[in-house]
Amino acid sequence: MTRLHELAFSYRLIRDLPGARMEPAPSRQTPGIFFAEVQPTPVSHPELLIWSPEAAKLLDLPPVLDLEEIQLAAEVFSGNRLLPGCRPYATRYGGHQFGNWAGQLGDGRAHTLGEVVNARGESYEIQLKGAGTTPYSRGADGRAVLRSSLREFLCSEAIFHLGIPTSRALCCVTTGDQVVRDMFYDGNPRPEPGAITTRLAPTFLRLGHFEILAAREENELLGKVVATAIQLHFPVLAAKHGLSENSSITDDLLVDWLDDVSTRTADLMVEWQRVGFVHGVMNTDNLSILGITIDYGPYGWLDDYDPEWTPNTTDAERRRYRFGHQPSIALWNLSRFGSALLPLASDSKAMIPRFEQVLERYRQRFGSRYLAMRARKIGFEIHASEDFPESVQTLLHQLDDLLVAVETDMTLFYRLLSKTMALAPQDSRGWLAAISECFYVEVLPSDVETQWLTWFDRATPLWRSDLALPEGSTDPLQGRSSLMDSVNPFFTLRNYLVQEALDELAEGRRGRMDELMAALKSPYADSAETRPFFRKRPDWARTRAGCSALSCSS
């Protein structure tokens, strides 16, 4: 076990890349460098609000802190105190935001303290979000408010426990300072409590890090950043192509790297769709090269199943980042990433068809894995490499229509369906009655009821058969029920639940926050921790700010 003051920082990412020591202000363009060494801005009264024992283990830190360590953690993870050897820095990147090129962006309120290698040889970057201004703050204050900081902390840990690749949250520190934000962008800013979230990831490199260098024609630096990224985070690929400090980047390496990043991203999109997670801001600067979930802004979870829903009020009109569009947006972002790599090719025109083949493989991989995932959600064990039974595919297409015919709670539907399968009703009306709690209407319209009964009439014989039966099943319905419970969460971190925790914190109470932390650690279990949250979104949360949708104001 490592004590907090014993953390040893390394700087492999920036070691051989150009940077500069800078004052945080003014915001400015920084051509020719990858990072700026910049100090966090001190806060008045830091206090440790929440600590993740599971994330602490990634750094070999104690899961529980004593009083002295709690105070030290508050000082260190607010940026008020630097541990020995710590050299905070902010990186430069660009990005396409809502489909438009935004130019230079960068870590406007994030300070990377350094990398820490744990006893298992795993390296994690430690980053403070909300720790003050940097040269990339673009005129903003570099701070974050408590509501967005707590949302990021809870959601990153919830996504992890759902088994989805993500950055992690080590802790959340309140600052004792007020931060002025216009939450609704309606000309009525108001002060809110400030906070800082400490995030962990193998790297926070994102597609935008490469876009800015290509856009500014800084091709030599682009090549260095690409080589560094591959050597550090894609060692198998580096070994395959003999990439070393003195070797050049080949066309084949570029193709394989784009393919690897695309594969990881396709798999991530399948997982988001599986649990009903909507990122909300899928700009190219918010997508990781590792295919992990990063940058939890105005995210959301589907209450009623609606492929057109987005939690982001900024995106309310165009709905570019709506739930059902996320896989296509990821593909669009990857195409921008591929364009950023073209300057390193020996012949960029000849490389375009090869990159297009990679993107086509993304479509194929996502398509096959998405169908296989959807099949598992209703009890059929079908692997992506297998021929997909037409009967199951028909069930899934019909289910898509039924889930939107009336408001249907996604989480409740799938778990009630698996529970009903274990009970084995004798007819379609028994099936429908058993899942009726998932609907946001008291009585189904007669035509919708007929469609559901027809769907159950078609599905039941398939469930009772040995078609795509989970391995080892002796009872088809019981086996399918167990499979469904392993892929359909019983608990998801709905927005209104976090808002309830925020409301309590404003009154000096933290009971709901602690209850959520306990529940999110076992999201697939029907347990004493999760059962109180297995219910539909209440009516009061349908339109309330922070419950139905969120803004980018954080």
Structural tokens at position 40? 């966090």
**What contacts 27, CB < 8 A, 6 or more positions away?**
108, 133, 135, 136, 137, 138, 139
Q: What angle do CA 277, 279, 281 make, to 5 degrees?
A: 165
- The residues that bridge with 179 in the sheet, in sequence order, are 192
Handedness of CA 201, 5, 121, 119 (dihedral sign): negative
- Cβ neighbour number for residue 232 with a 10 Å cutoff: 16
Instruction: Please identify which of the residues 256, 259, 285, 409 carries the catalytic annotation.
Output: 285
DSSP state, 299? Answer: -
Known catalytic residue at 285: yes
- The residues that bridge with 312 in the sheet, in sequence order, are 550
DSSP H stretches of helix in 444-490: 446-464, 476-487
**Structural contact between residues 524 and 414, judged by C-beta atoms closer than 8 angstroms:** no
Burial 292-314 (b: 16+ CB within 10 A, else e): bbbbbbbbbbbbbbbeebbbbbb
DSSP state, 26? Answer: S
**Structural contact between residues 127 and 198, judged by C-beta atoms closer than 8 angstroms:** yes
DSSP state, 526? Answer: -
Give one word for 5, left, alpha or beta, with left for phi > 0 and alpha for psi -120 to 50: alpha
Q: How does strand 35-37 pair with strand 19-21?
A: parallel
Q: How does strand 123-129 pair with strand 110-117?
A: antiparallel
Distance CA 333, CA 317 (A): 21
Q: In Å, how far are 31, 203, 224 from 16, measured between CA atoms? A: 17, 16, 8
Structural tokens at position 434? 């058993």
Distance CA 115, CA 200 (A): 9
DSSP state, 544? Answer: S
- List the catalytic residues: 285
